[in-house]
Amino acid sequence: MKVLVVGSGGREHAIIWKLLQSPKVSYVYCAPGNGGIRQMAECVDIKADDIEGLCQFAKKHKIDLTVVGPELPLSLGIVDVFEKEGLRIFGPRKNAAIIESSKAFAKDFMQKYGIPTAQYKIYEDATKAKEQIDSFGFPVVIKADGLAAGKGVIIADTKEEAIKTIDMVMRDRHFGQAGDKVVIEEFLQGKEASILAFVDGKTAVPMVSAQDYKRTYDGDLGLNTGGMGAISPAPHYDEKVATDVMEEIIKPTVEAMKRENRPYKGVLYFGLMITKDGPKVIEYNCRFGDPETEAVLLRLESDLVEIMEAVLDEKLHEMDIEWSENAAMCVVMASGGYPVSFEKGYEIKGLENAEQGIVFHAGTKYIDGKIVTDGGRVLIFSALGKTLDEARAIVYADMEKVNFKDCHYRRDVGLIR
Ligand code: AMP
Ligand code: GLY
């Protein structure tokens, strides 16, 4: 089978690493890929949102299965275009990807179907939003409606900060069109967990749980990022919580999407807050999470291609998906200044010495025999261990051997839980 993976991050590297373990896979292309992916797949220079270009490529090279990593092509309708051409592609159609691409849609959907989430209001008018801001109490959560590369959520501790944020998003259009509308919502307290599930339109099979470390610095300080590390399992996600999430959130979501004529196929990501009143949805994503995938896939013992085929053929209920009892974790090595501004093009040294765990590449590029930095999140160090502490020791031992100018990473992934 020839497979095309769309994307260029650590998530896509991990997906390719797992796909290549399948005896069914004979060749993998990645568009556009990165400096690490090129060691295991043929990288082709087509951007992830160039849907026409990707479709032409898939036809020309007789690709048997395309797997889409990032949300942007999904929200632009890559699945609809491929399906029209009779090509097999893993991911939700545009009308289902909206569950991530519009937070306003997601909130109204949850309210309509009684899926637990934070109290909220949607505003298209900044003045009105500012007038009503007191009614939420503080801190308050302000979210740009559209896609904003994981940065469109601001937690404002005071009224002053909230008003500044509304102006930044709606008046100054800091996130562009994503700020046409804002969702303002109640601040939830509790422990977070990320649950990724395979969904075939009717049946959902959750993967093992994970927890994301979103803040930039140790001690959960600094700005929110796309994620600085992840552990699996999530420590607070016991069987009782898992059952509640399945019955109150996962099943109702899949059922309701079907009822809305937006059948969901692919991976559906549930960002959850486990509150004292039970689990609530913080957000949905229409894809594998990053960096959760770089921990979770290490624990997958079944064949990922077989699972993806079962999703496409609506046969998930026939699958028995197996997971390792071991713990997994990953830590992101980022460029100095990430998530705000950073330089690129620095040589990465010592990669050949990091050999205890697995190093997935995110923002890297291969130039003249060297691997150089090419993004904010640069490398993801992952490992599996009998315990989380064992995985942790492997990850950090590897990280000590690798560096580039101004690199930084959290040292407390797996410690604060
Ligand atoms: P999101 O991009 O929606 O995942 O939001 C980023 C992060 O903001 C989440 O992982 C939470 O830590 C935090 N967050 C979002 N919404 C809420 C909320 N209603 N209450 C508390 N924290 C939130
Ligand atoms: N780690 C959060 C996300 O993938 O959006």
**Alpha carbon of 282 to ligand 1 centroid (Å):** 6
Confidence band for 148, pLDDT divided at 50, 70 and 90? confident
Whether residue 130 has pLDDT greater than 70 = yes
Does the pLDDT value for residue 230 go beyond 90?
Answer: yes
The verdict on residue 242 lying in a domain is yes
Percent of the chain with pLDDT over 90: 90
The radius of gyration of the chain's CA atoms, rounded to the nearest angstrom, is 21
Are residue 142 and residue 55 in the same domain, yes or no? Answer: no
State how many domains the chain has. 4
254, part of any domain: yes
Q: Whose CA is nearest to atom 5 of ligand 2?
A: 289
CA separation for the pair 5, 184 (Å, rounded): 35
Residue 246 DSSP label: I
* CATH code: domain of residue 158: 3.30.1490.20
SS3 349: strand
* Nearest residue to 298 via CA among 401, 226, 210: 210
Regarding whether 79 and 9 lie in a shared domain, the answer is: yes
263, 287, 318 - which closes a domain: 318
Tell me, in angstroms, the distance from the centre of ligand 2 to residue 85's CA: 30
- Average pLDDT on 307-330 reads 98
What was the pLDDT predicted at 175? 83
Identify whether 82 is part of a domain.
yes
292 CA to centre of ligand 2 in angstroms: 7
At residue 146, the pLDDT reads 82
Model confidence at 391, in pLDDT bands (50, 70, 90)?
very high
pLDDT number for residue 147? 82
Q: Are residues 146 and 45 in the same domain?
A: no
Among 264, 283, 318, residue at a domain's last position: 318
Domain boundary among 288, 318, 348: 318
The ligand whose atoms approach the alpha carbon of 11 most closely is 2
What integer pLDDT is reported at residue 168 of this predicted model? Answer: 87
Ligand 1 within 6 A of CB of 271: yes
Same domain for 298 and 334, yes or no, is no
Could you tell me the distance, in angstroms and rounded to a whole number, from the CA of residue 171 to the centre of ligand 2? 27
Q: Which of 110, 145, 153 to mutate to test the pocket of ligand 1 (most atoms within 8 A of CB)?
A: 153
Q: Which amino acid is at 114?
A: G
Residue 44 lies in a domain: yes
pLDDT band at residue 252 using 50, 70 and 90 as cut-offs:
very high
Same-domain pairing of 269 and 245: yes
Give the CATH number, domain containing residue 303. 3.30.470.20
Ligand 2 pocket residue status of 227, Cβ below 6 Å: yes
What tokens does 317 get?
A: 């209920």
- Asked if the structure places residue 112 within a domain, the reply is no
Ligand 1 center–CA 153 separation, angstroms:
7
CB 395 less than 6 A from any atom of ligand 1? no
Angstrom CA distances, 171 to 122, 152, 174, 184, 389, stand at: 16, 15, 8, 16, 47
For the chain, give the number of residues: 417
Residue 393 Cβ contacting ligand 1 at under 6 Å: no
Q: Tens of pLDDT along 174-190?
A: 887 877 889 999 999 99
Nearest-atom number in ligand 1 for the CA of 150 is 2
Judgement on whether residues 270 and 309 belong to the same structural domain of the protein: yes
For 1-47, what is each residue's pLDDT tens digit? Answer: 999 999 999 999 999 999 999 999 999 999 999 999 999 999 999 99
Q: Which ligand is nearest to the CA of 296?
A: 2
Give start and end residues of each alpha helix (H) in 89-186.
94-101, 103-112, 126-131, 159-166
Kindly tell me if the per-residue pLDDT of 158 is higher than 90: yes
- The ligand 2 atom nearest the CA atom of 287: 4
Is there a contact between 201 and 90 (Cβ–Cβ < 8 Å)? no
Residue 349 belongs to some domain of the structure: yes
Taking residues 210-229, what's their average pLDDT? 94
Model pLDDT for residues 329-357, shown as the tens digit of each residue: 999 999 999 999 999 999 999 999 999 99
Interior/surface letters 146-182, b for 16+ CB within 10 angstroms, e for the rest: bbbebbbbbebeeeebbbebbebbbeeebbeebbebb
Nearest CA to ligand 2 atom 4: 289
CATH code for position 390: 3.90.600.10
Same domain, 201 and 301: yes
Q: Whose CA is nearest to atom 3 of ligand 2?
A: 289
348 & 392 share domain: yes
Q: Is the pLDDT of residue 149 over 90?
A: no
Whether 279 is in the pocket of ligand 2, judged by its Cβ within 6 Å, is: no
Same domain as 231, residue 262: yes
Ligand nearest to the CA of residue 188, numbered in listed order: 1
Distance (Å) from CA 179 to ligand 2 centroid: 20
Distance 349 CA to ligand 2 centre (A): 27
| Total-model pTM | 0.96
Residue 33 within any structural domain of the chain: yes
With a 6 Å cutoff on the Cβ, whether 290 touches ligand 2 is yes
Q: Quick check: CB of 307 below 6 Å from ligand 1?
A: no
**Is residue 236 domain-shared with residue 280, that is, in the same domain?**
yes
Can you give the residue range of the structural domain that contains 350?
A: 327-399
Q: Is 141 in the pocket of ligand 1 (CB under 6 A)?
A: yes
Q: What is the CATH number of the domain that holds 56?
A: 3.40.50.20
Same domain for 138 and 232, yes or no, is no
pLDDT tier, 150 (very low <50, low <70, confident <90, very high otherwise): low
Q: Are strands 153-156 and 140-144 parallel, antiparallel or unpaired?
A: antiparallel
Of 143, 285, 380, best ligand 2 pocket probe by most atoms within 8 Å of the beta carbon: 285
**For residues 235 and 417, is the Cβ–Cβ distance under 8 A?**
yes
| Average of per-residue pLDDT values in the chain | 96
Q: What is the pLDDT of residue 214?
A: 93
Same domain, 199 and 275: yes
CA of 224 to the centre of ligand 1 (A): 9
Q: Is 151 in the pocket of ligand 2 (CB under 6 A)?
A: no
Asked whether residue 78 is assigned to any structural domain, the reply reads: yes
